[in-house]
Amino acid sequence: MRQHPVCRGLSKWRPVESGATGPAQPRRQQVDDVRSHEVRALHFFSKHSFIHSFFFNFYSNVSRTLPFQNRSNIARIVLSPDNKILLTIDVDGYALFINFQKQVVIAHFNFRGPVTACTFSPDSRFFGIATGKKFKIFESPSVTTKCFSPLVLYKKYGNLHTADITGISWTSDSRFFITWSDDLTIKLMSLHKIRDFLPFTFSGYHKKIVSAFFNENDTRIFSVS
């Protein structure tokens, strides 16, 4: 079987042993590194047109194909910050919510259109979904208790931007988030209702916004266009 070019490059990687090029890392640090590397691999492989999901463990040098598949080519793969929920979305907007640790499907959902942006909040309690100009925030499904409707809509915006939303970013405390769009604007919104708070629009960009994010203490917003 022909090996994927990405896998050929990764297969040459070997973990650093103690005394080789540096001291061995603590066990907890190694586990954290493995999880972060797995997330990068999930995002990297989602750029290709696959209906199967698989991840690569950079520490043990082992790849694994997850035992389920989407209806069509996968467009986006997002892993929650607590590494419990894996969200895979195909090009038509059909999604699978997966218990990443047990590798079982929690729920199927149709977002009724191609998803242009998706991300979990830092506390993993919510996740934002953008389908064109529309933006919705859902409560993250539980991985411990079964329920009839695992997805609960928390907030929705009909026309948050005048063009397709292309990105979402959260503050570290998950209280505020920003969205940016092809209309060359950035919106600052509040997750929960706050008295006398009004959404703010950042404009004045002359080219497409690539990314935007908060600084470490959430007092400034940096954007790249």
16 belongs to a structural domain = no
103 belongs to a structural domain = yes
DSSP annotation of 22 = B
One domain, residues 59 and 108: no
196 belongs to a structural domain = yes
CATH code: domain of residue 121: 2.130.10.10
Average pLDDT over residues 144-169: 89
pTM as predicted: 0.74
pLDDT, position 65: 81
Banded model confidence at residue 158, pLDDT cuts 50, 70, 90: confident
Average pLDDT over the chain, rounded to whole? 80
17 belongs to a structural domain = no
The structural domain count of the chain equals 2
Burial 176-199 (b: 16+ CB within 10 A, else e): bbbbbbebbbbbbbebeeeeeeee
Containing structural domain, residue 164: 73-220
How many alpha carbons lie under 13 Å from residue 113 in its C-beta half-sphere? 11
Average pLDDT over residues 85-100: 93
pLDDT, position 51: 59
Q: Please report, for the chain, how many H helices and E strands are present, in that order.
A: 2, 16
pLDDT, position 54: 63
Cα–Cα distance measured from residue 183 to residue 222, given in angstroms and rounded to the nearest whole number: 18
